[in-house]
Each structure stands twice: as C-alpha cells, then as structure tokens.
Amino acid sequence: MNDSGKLELFEQTIVPHLNAAYNLARWLTRNQHDAEDLVQEAYLRAFRFFDGFQGGDGKAWLLSVVRNTCLTWLGKKGDAVEFNEQVHASASPPADAESAMIRNSKIDSLRDCVEALPVEYREIIIMRELEELSYRQISEAAGIPIGTVMSRLSRGRERLLDCMEAKA
C-alpha cells in the first residue's frame, strides 16, 4: 500500500471510531487528560501498525490498540489490577446535603460502581454495554477467548449489581 492510500484508508476505517476510542480510554483512565493523551498515542500506534490490519472490523481493531495503550500506561502507574477504594473515596466532595443528594442519583451510582470495577471487568462492560460490541468483537479487541469474555462480563455484572444494591 502506498502512503497516500494508507492515510486515506486509515481516515476512512479507523478515524471514524474516535468517540468509541475516547470513551473506552476515558473509562479506563478515569480522567479526561490522560484519556486524550492515550487516545492520541493509540492512534499513532494504530497508524504505524496499520499495514497489519487486514480489513475487517476497524472498531474492534482500534479498541484493541486503545486498550493495550491504556493498560500499559496503567501498568506503569502501578494500578492496573486493583482500584484503591480509599483514594477514590477521599476524592469525593464533602457530604453536605446537596452533594449527597446528587451522588445518590442513579447515574452517579452507576458511574461510581463502574469506575470501581477492576479494570479487566470494566473494559468488558464498557465494550459490551456502551460500545455495543458483540462477544466476538470483544474477544478480538481484548485478545481473550469468547468463554472468558462471557465469564468476565458475568462477574462484572454481578459486582455491579452488588455495588448498586449497596448504594440503594
């Protein structure tokens, strides 16, 4: 593939999935600035490896690059596996009546519960429920067998239900 064809094909097949890439990075990093940086890095990587993309599913392929970029970054930061509930709790606003009310809303509970999930469940939940990827696409994007996709999805949901019920 020549350079102009490559850039053009990349713009047609990969760039349109920017919002999906950003959404996943935003949920994995839990903050806007790191998500922006990592999405840019992921796109540069994706372009570098674009020759290896055999056509097929551009969204799943891009998300696999975004996911790997984010997990590498989280690994370097040292919180790839466990999310520190203490740190997260101390970052919450003071429990005055108004903010308590807002935090009690369902949207905030959902967000908090998803953010509190270990990253290996969180990524699968986001890909399934928000990006609406099929099991096969998730399996491609996360590089795990479909059986593992199903079991992680199931455990992630179980944890979410427990978390939501605890907040209710």
Partner 1 sequence: MMCKSALPLIEPYIDGELDASQAAELQRHLDECPACAQSHRRLGALSTDLRALAPRYTAPADLRSRIMQRVSRQALSSKLVAMPRRKAITGWAIAATVLLAVSAGWNAMLLQSQKKAGDAVAQEIVSSHVRSLIGDHLLDVPSTDQHNVKPWFNGRLDYAPDVKDFAAEGFALIGGRVDYLDHRPVAALVYKRHQHVINLFVWPSDAKPVPDAVNGFNLVIWRHAGMEYCAISDLNQTELRQFANLYEH
Which residues of this protein are in contact with partner 1, per CB under 8 A?
A: 3-8, 10-11, 15, 18-19, 21-23, 26-27, 32, 35-36, 39-40, 43-44, 47-48, 106-107, 110-111, 114, 125, 128-130, 134-135, 150, 153-154, 157, 160-161, 164
In angstroms, how far apart are the furthest CA atoms of the chain? 61
Q: In terms of Cα–Cα distance, which of 46, 5, 13, 23 is closest to 133?
A: 23
In this structure, are residues 72 and 78 in contact, taking their beta carbons and an 8 Å threshold? Answer: no
Q: Which amino acid is at 44?
A: L
1 vs 89 by CB, closer to partner 1: 1
86 vs 150 by CB, closer to partner 1: 150
33 vs 96 by CB, closer to partner 1: 33
Minimum Å gap between C-beta 35 and partner 1 is 7
Q: Which two tokens stand for residue 67?
A: 């996911």
